[in-house]
Structure 1
Amino acid sequence: MSSLATRPADRAVGRIGEHVASLDWQRLHEAIDERGFAVTEPVLGKAECRTLAGLYDDASLFRSRIVMARHSFGRGEYQYFSYPLPEWVAEMRVAFYAHLAPVANRWHAALNSGIRFPDEHRDFLNRCHDAGQTQPTPLLLRYGVGDYNCLHQDLYGEHVFPLQVAILLSEPGADFTGGEFVLTEQRPRMQSRPEVVGLTQGAAVVFAVNERPVAGKRGVYRVRMRHGVSQVKSGHRHVLGLIFHDAL
């Protein structure tokens, strides 16, 4: 078992969690509300990125492996971590949730949803687990030449946290080329709008899982968002995905 292993979401936040907490969350919240996503400064250093990417080959850390082509998801593969999560993964999941829960609650209020999210991630996971959503959803993705990820949403059950995080573990231009992170949004009675999101190694993109509220002339309406990855042209691309709800 990797030395990064720990129990899920029940430890004091460490150095990486403190780095997440120190981000300019006012700017990030404004960007998330305005565009449905925001890009952070690097939250992981090069060595930390290499360590996390290197976990991919340790099968003992994962509960399942998905080859995208078998399911028409694209090309490439990813693995879902099992509990206990690696220490840094658990740390970042707790730290990001604490700053995203207020946005999630504001969005649900704007959309007239009666669902509200607790301040602590542990309490939200208890809600998921009580509903049978007990499978951890943080994952590592690995892409090679020609690989890509079709536009999709990560839902997994009745209880869905409306934001998620992807952290680029590889260095663009050095480890891989191509492989851009892509978002689309579908506004009512309009064609889909694409967005290519530039990331540096160790940086995170926070983005909407499914729907977000947008103010219009006739009030607030729902904008549906999807995400994916364009084709990798060379090298290998590794990404850490942080999904805050667990799966059935």
Structure 2
Amino acid sequence: MDVILKKLEDVDWNNAQQTLDQQGYAIVENVLNADDCQEFIEGFENPERYRKNVDMERYRFGKGHYKYFKYPLPDILSKLREHVYPKLVPVANQWMRNLKLDINFPASLSELHKKCVVNGQLLATPLILKYTKEGFNTLHQDLYGDVYFPIQAVLFLNKVEKDYTGGEFVMTQQVPRAQSKAIVLRPKKGSMLIFTTNYRPLLGKKGHYRVTMKHGVSEVHSGERYTLGVIFHDATT
């Protein structure tokens, strides 16, 4: 079996699903090895891989650069996206039921992409992000169109405190009529963080209610920070 597929098959997905449902995020360690991480980092400067390069400061998204891959995606990224998506569908659909929303996500990534095509969303959304000293990413949501999957992932390509300092992954959880809760994470190199794209249910005294989630990156103090963003739905631009 392919190495990346073997690693993903060995994941305790029941535990990951439960953690994701309870917390809004879950961390799976050792998804990428050191060679995988280095290959993506070295490929950052290869323009043949990408369809779009974004200077975050220009658009007031933060300070850093990110590049959207074009189809066909690198093999590891494609396999990871196709294999992880169906593991997340049960959580996504349960969230929709909890919130009494008439939304049902298909079992396969290819079926989700058919829905994207109908809505004019044809472009790849996986991306690689680079931050240097003083780089950061403002709080945001990765939606890209009317068709969007409520869960996404990010993979960490270098080692915090060795390759960079600062640069924590930050999420905020906005409970209605209350202050936001901040969640700050520092996953290990090669880890995959699975998290909420836009909103998720929380159980209250009167049933489930919706909480809005956003994510970003705190300021990098030194070094270079690289990550891979894995969004499952496609984009219009």
- TM-score normalised to structure 2 length: 0.97
Match of 2:36 in 1: 48
Match of 2:52 in 1: 64
> Which one-letter code corresponds to 1:158 in the other structure?
D
Match of 2:101 in 1: 113
- 1:198 is displaced (CA, Å) by 2.0
- Pairing partner for 2:23 from 32, 35, 52: 35
Consecutive aligned runs of 4 or more in structure 1 exceeding 4 Å deviation: none
Write the distance in 2 (CA, Å) between the matches of 1:236 and 1:198. Answer: 15
Is structure 2 residue 160 aligned with structure 1 residue 172? Answer: yes
For structure 1, which segment, 22-31 or 224-233, has the greater mean C-alpha deviation from structure 2 after superposition? 22-31
Percent identity of paired positions between Structure 1 and Structure 2: 41
Write the distance in 1 (CA, Å) between the matches of 2:9 and 2:229. Answer: 18
Is structure 2 residue 181 aligned with structure 1 residue 181? Answer: no
Tell me the alpha carbon deviations over residues 7-53 of structure 1, each in whole angstroms, 9 at most, x when there is no partner.
xxxxxx83213312321111111111111001111201111111112
Match of 1:203 in 2: 191
Write the distance in 1 (CA, Å) between the matches of 2:121 and 2:220. Answer: 33
Tell me the alpha carbon deviations over residues 176-214 of structure 1, each in whole angstroms, 9 at most, x when there is no partner.
111010111001111000011120000011000000011
Write the distance in 1 (CA, Å) between the matches of 2:152 and 2:94. Answer: 16
Q: Which consecutive unaligned segments of at least 5 residues does structure 1 have?
A: 1-12
Match of 1:230 in 2: 218
Tell me the alpha carbon deviations over residues 43-98 of structure 1, each in whole angstroms, 9 at most, x when there is no partner.
01111111112111110110101100001100001000001101011011011102
Match of 2:72 in 1: 84
Write the distance in 2 (CA, Å) between the matches of 1:101 and 1:17. Answer: 18
Write the distance in 2 (CA, Å) between the matches of 1:134 and 1:113. Answer: 25
For structure 1, which segment, 39-48 or 132-141, has the greater mean C-alpha deviation from structure 2 after superposition? 39-48
Write the distance in 2 (CA, Å) between the matches of 1:76 and 1:140. Answer: 11
Q: Provide the aligned length of Structure 1 versus Structure 2.
A: 236
* 3-state SS of 1:71 partner: coil
- 1:247 is displaced (CA, Å) by 0.5
Write the distance in 2 (CA, Å) between the matches of 1:99 and 1:50. Answer: 27
- 1:126 is displaced (CA, Å) by 1.2
- 1:112 is displaced (CA, Å) by 1.3
**Mapping for residues 12-27 of structure 1, pairs under 5 Å:** 14-27=2-15
Q: Which consecutive unaligned segments of at least 5 residues does structure 2 have?
A: none
Q: Is the 8 A contact 2:160 2:186 kept in 1?
A: no
Write the distance in 2 (CA, Å) between the matches of 1:245 and 1:17. Answer: 21
- 1:173 is displaced (CA, Å) by 1.4
Write the distance in 1 (CA, Å) between the matches of 2:93 and 2:41. Answer: 32
Match of 2:147 in 1: 159
Is structure 2 residue 227 aligned with structure 1 residue 239? Answer: yes
Tell me the alpha carbon deviations over residues 96-120 of structure 1, each in whole angstroms, 9 at most, x when there is no partner.
1020011111111111111111111
- TM-score normalised to structure 1 length: 0.93
Write the distance in 1 (CA, Å) between the matches of 2:108 and 2:41. Answer: 28
Q: Is the 8 A contact 1:18 1:95 kept in 2?
A: no
**Mapping for residues 135-146 of structure 1, pairs under 5 Å:** 135-146=123-134
> Which one-letter code corresponds to 1:44 in the other structure?
L
